[in-house]
Amino acid sequence: MNRIEKRFAELSSKKEGALIAYVMGGDPSPRLTPDVVRWLVEGGADIVEVGIPFSDPIADGPSIQAAGVRALRAGATPASVLESVRAVRRDSDVPLAAMTYYNIIYSRGVPDFLDAAAAAGLDGLIVPDLPVEEASQLAEAARGRGMDLVQLAAPTTSDARFRAIVDCSAGFLYLVSLMGVTGARGSLGEGALELVARARRHTGGRLPLAVGFGISKPEHVRAVTGAGADGVVVGSAIVDVIAGSLDDRPAMARGVSSLVSSLKAETGPYRR
């Protein structure tokens, strides 16, 4: 049982949902990433998802795309993001997952990338452009290094495909609440709560469920966690706070921690 699994187990015992907070590695600079992660944890984040900037981020909306551009311009690389993870791990036991695209893993070589990721202290990987039909080798290799490969399921996922995704996923199942890319929305996507119930039928409670894409407000967190999700993933709303205070580090720290605190406050405990 790695840190992600342990954290979900701890929260489940308290009937509390997980707040999974996303930050783009290297945004606004590689040297600041460990501090941003610390602010997220101080605000109450249970798990931190660190993005690796990529030039063709097909799952990302405008906010995270802009964060990736800032990170790349600041000199961020996959290696520098893993070094930031290593720096975080020296001082924190927070569960850490990397959100990356498969080309980054493939171009370095799967064994080399996974060895470096595990050595840095990563607990999981989220690879949104890797279909489940091609994910078993990476999942097995990651598992052998103590890391989870988290799979994604969407409202349009068929029942047969849902079963395959559940079988291949570890750590948690990432439920995409809407059709489209990441980005803060004013309201939850249609069918988000129904997707939680449907996923629960497929997992039978064997795998935690986390809802992401469009989750940006306390009421979103309250709705999906109250409906039975084990956690939420919030990214664009956090990235927007960073973008709005690029020249004011104290304001950035306050804004990030304050937003995360307001979201975490809505994760329970709940009776289910």
C-alpha separations of 112 from 30, 118, 129 in Å: 22, 10, 20
For the chain, the domain total comes to 1
3-state secondary structure of 19: strand
Domain span including residue 150: 3-262
Q: How far apart are alpha carbons 227 and 202 in whole angstroms?
A: 16
Q: ω into residue 269 within 30 of 0, thus cis?
A: yes
Q: Let me know if residue 269 belongs to a domain.
A: no
Q: What are the residues whose beta carbons fall under 8 Å from the beta carbon of 226, sequence distance 6 or more?
A: 270
Establish if 270 belongs to a structural domain: no
Is residue 74 in a domain? yes
**Domain for residue 272, yes or no?**
no
Q: Select, from the ranges 55-64, 178-187, 209-218, the one with the highest average predicted confidence (pLDDT).
A: 209-218
Residue 49 belongs to a domain: yes
Domain of 150, CATH number, reads 3.20.20.70
pLDDT tens-digit readout, 226-257: 888 999 999 999 999 999 999 999 999 999 99
What is the tens place of the pLDDT at every residue in 14-30?
A: 999 999 999 999 999 99
pTM score above 0.75: yes
Residue at 271 is within a domain: no
Residue 66 within a domain: yes
What amino acid positions are annotated as catalytic residues? Answer: 49, 60
Residue 271, pLDDT score: 54
Model confidence at 208: pLDDT above 50: yes
The verdict on residue 188 lying in a domain is yes
